[in-house]
Amino acid sequence: MGDLSGKTFLVTGANTGIGKETVRGLAGRGARVVLAGRSEERTRAAIREVAAETGNTDLDFLPLDLGDLASVRATAATFLDSGERLDVLVNNAGLAGKRGMTASGFELAFGTNHVGPFLLTELLRDRIAETGPGRIVNVASTGHYRAKGIDWDAVRRPTVTRTAFDEYCVSKLANILHARELGRRLEGTGVTTYSLHPGAIASDVWREVPFGVRHVMKLFMRSPEEGARTSLYCATSPDVAGHTGRYYDEQREKQPSAVATDELAAELWARSEEWVTPAPRG
């Protein structure tokens, strides 16, 4: 990665798993890192741990609930009001295996894994462009290959499947489509975008899966430290500085699902913009 002194990164879902290992890798190279997440207690504990290990104390907490668009707006406003630079946004936070709806009215995985990050990215992207060459990284999943497309009605209803895995896969397809269309829209701004599969990782993204099943799953998974490698590669490597909108796995570019077309990416973008635009009053 090289020396990252003077650069600021914002990482969502940063208090555990892949997110915390991403922060550890960035902080160890001298970066300033803002950790955004729901639990202040857990995030501050992660900050203390990373600071003690790396000697880097330039770490801060921002409260963020991606399932609540009001929270997303408040988080972005707090960061923007600080006036500080933002070199890289890592949309790492994810949820799997839990059924329901978000506070903002979306299927739980889709709302948390796509709609919230979409809005956060929209609110922060001008700051990244102003800072000068920057990056936006979406942590997706190889699970996106399982998705056959996006059912626009289903993403506005509670989770249907018992395991919520099909819905999770749709949300990860959305992460890839988002990075693809965002990369196209940001051409010429100096901001590049990436989506990636971190590997099958024993992280807290599976916390809602029943204990026995989760324990067996994790026996066959890699560590969060290994999972952070491709996130760090996309966020910092000069090898991909000239690339945008592409999908990565094992620190290499990979062809995403055939479903991940420009047409679907454009439609998802249009619908996402509509979803996150506040309704006019009166």
Options 168, 233, 247, 248, the catalytic residue: 168
Strand partners, 37: 63
* 8 Å CB contact between 104 and 115: yes
Q: In 3D, which of 218, 259, 70, 94 has the Cα closest to residue 165?
A: 94
Three-state SS at 20: helix
- Give yes or no: 247 in active site: no
The token pair that represents 137 in the structure block: 């990284």
Q: In 3D, which of 235, 167, 170, 236 has the Cα closest to residue 1?
A: 236
Cα-Cα-Cα-Cα dihedral sign, residues 244, 249, 229, 171:
positive
Rg over CA atoms, the chain: 17
Q: In 3D, which of 107, 104, 201, 192 has the Cα closest to residue 147?
A: 107
The catalytic residue positions are 168
